[in-house]
Amino acid sequence: MNGVIIQFFHWYHPGNLWNEFAEKAEYLRDLGFTAVWFPPANKCSLNMEGRGYDVYDLYDLGEFDQKGSIPTRYGTKAEYLMAIEKAHEVGMSVYADIVLNHRMGGDKEEKIMVHQLNEEKRNERISENMEVSAYTKFTFPGRKGVYSDFIWDCHCFSGIDYVIREGEEMKGVFKIHNEYGEEWTDAVSHQFGNYDYLMGADIEYRNPYVVEEMKNWIR
């Protein structure tokens, strides 16, 4: 017998999602749903306005006072775990949406070297190399090292979509220059020329410290 999954969120949902699901779990089970797909539970750069995809801190599921509140748009960590437990109680599987390719809402600016690229052809340079400021340092002051004391900085990212040059804000696709070179990795889809870059501060998986941190987070 095939199962049936429900996507229990949409972009314009007002929030308090975990409690809403807990209240409706039995009803959904009785309708025939065997699994639920939840949105990303992490703290967002836009805080209560974030939908989970503007990832700030993967360790903060609504537990720490960061970006203006403890809960996320969808609720607190305790409410999230309660919703998962309720799903299991009524016999439903849970699928968690997780975003691992970028960070947004950095805590501190850094001086970095970049060049700008054509957003539709991301191997095509449209500027010379330039020094800019960018929010590429993530220290998570509200979490204070709980779960991980890893600090993300410009060596952890391959590209970014917002920089400041001589006081002027610039938006686009900017390749960060670091010890991993001035080019994107070729081990990805070639959509838009190269799909290494997606949005925000794009994670540099050629950095072994980043790889180890992501393994720690999974554990």
Q: How many residues does the chain have?
A: 219
Whole-prediction pTM = 0.93
DSSP output for 67-84: TTBSSBTTB-HHHHHHHH
- For the chain, the domains span 5-96, 102-218
* Residue 79: predicted pLDDT: 98
What fold does the segment set 102-218 form as a domain?
Answer: Elongation Factor Tu (Ef-tu); domain 3 (2.40.30)
**Contact indicator for 115, 183 with CB cutoff of 8 Å:** no
**In Å, what is the CA distance from 22 to each residue of 14, 26, 147?**
16, 8, 27
**Contact indicator for 79, 19 with CB cutoff of 8 Å:** yes
What fold does the segment set 5-96 form as a domain?
Answer: Transcription Regulator spoIIAA (3.30.750)
* Residue 49: predicted pLDDT: 94
Q: pLDDT of 31-71, one tens digit each?
A: 999 999 999 999 999 999 999 999 999 999 999 999 999 99
Q: pLDDT of 156-208, one tens digit each?
A: 999 999 999 999 999 999 999 999 999 999 888 999 999 989 899 999 999 99
Q: pLDDT of 61-93, one tens digit each?
A: 999 999 999 999 999 999 999 999 999 999 999
Of 207, 58, 22, 39, the closest CA to residue 143 belongs to 58
Would you state the structure tokens that stand for residue 64, as one six-digit string?
Answer: 């720490």
Q: pLDDT of 119-142, one tens digit each?
A: 999 999 999 999 999 999 999 999
Secondary structure of residue 18 in the 3-state scheme = helix
* Residue 198: predicted pLDDT: 87
Indicate if 102-218 has the same CATH topology as 5-96: no
Residue 1: band (very low, low, confident or very high) from pLDDT cuts 50, 70, 90: confident
